[in-house]
Amino acid sequence: MKTTITILFTVLFFLAQSQESQYQQAMQKAIETLNNSVSPDEYNFVANTFERISTAEPGEWLPLYYAAYANIVHSFEVENSNQKDQLLDKAQQFLDKAFKIAPEESELFALQAFLYPGKIMVDPMGRGPEYMGKIYQALDDAIRLNPDNPRPYFLRAITTLNMPPEFGGGPAVAKPIFETAKEKFESFQPATPLSPNWGKEINDMEMEKL
């Protein structure tokens, strides 16, 4: 009887290890594809890939995160307002699911703050007043949950840079925030090989312009 139980647990252990390995491999391949994507079709393909992974791994928030991220970046590449809104709405659906899995995850709040400017771009005058407050609230939450996460500082710097000086923005105000983000990026270590690790290159590029 003991031998049978031992064999059963051994089989279950190796099955779990195999499933985890498949998940890791699928995610690593999809992240690599995402990092090399440049066209709408490529972003659409990789977003669908992450969606399939999330269906297979319903307890994981990272596939949903990357599916949302791919749709957000894709939205910045299209000019049609309706299409932009559709992509952002789809990204929000992925984010909402991810928040249910990891409600206290700093990276999700940072990504939420990354989504809102796209909404503003569709209708700056109509949506600006509504979404600006949401951006800063999401960034505050991201920093509160993980003060070492560089992405909310980077996103706050970008937001401040693009804000008119009369509203407290502009290069002079944004520069020290970029510098803080740079310090955070230099010391940041992703929690896992699959964890978000984007933004450093763009932060450095923006700093060179100031």
Tell the residue number behind the tokens 């990504």, with chain if given. 111
User: Does 166 have pLDDT greater than 90?
Assistant: no
Q: What does the radius of gyration of the chain's CA atoms come to, in whole angstroms?
A: 19
Question: Which of helix, strand or coil describes residue 150?
Answer: helix
Under 8 Å between Cβ of 133 and 139: no
> pLDDT of 61-89, one tens digit each?
999 999 999 999 999 999 999 999 999 99
Mean pLDDT, the chain, rounded, equals 91
Neighbours of 145 (CB within 10 A): 17
How many beta carbons lie within 10 A of that of residue 174, not counting itself? 21
Structure confidence at residue 19 (pLDDT): 56
First-to-last CA distance in the chain?
72
Worst-scoring range by mean pLDDT, 126-130, 164-168, 170-174? 164-168
Query: Residue 101 and residue 88: Cα distance in Å, rounded?
Result: 20
- Kindly report the backbone phi and psi dihedral angles of residue 2, in degrees, each rounded to the nearest multiple of 5, phi listed first: -60, -40
d(CA 2, CA 23): 32
Is the pLDDT at 8 greater than 80, yes or no?
Answer: no
Question: What's the pLDDT score for residue 159?
Answer: 95
All structural domains of the chain with their residue ranges: 29-103, 104-209
Q: For 12-27, what is each residue's pLDDT tens digit?
A: 344 444 456 899 999 9
Residue 1's alpha-carbon distances to 12, 31, 103, in angstroms, are: 17, 45, 43
Instruction: Tell me what pLDDT residue 165 has.
Output: 87
* Token pair 């089989």: residue: 11
Task: Please name the amino acid found at residue 6.
Answer: T
Q: Which percentage of the chain shows pLDDT scores above 90?
A: 83
d(CA 165, CA 163): 6
The CA-based angle 152-47-85, given to 5 degrees, is: 70
Q: What angle do CA 158, 99, 56 make, to 5 degrees?
A: 115
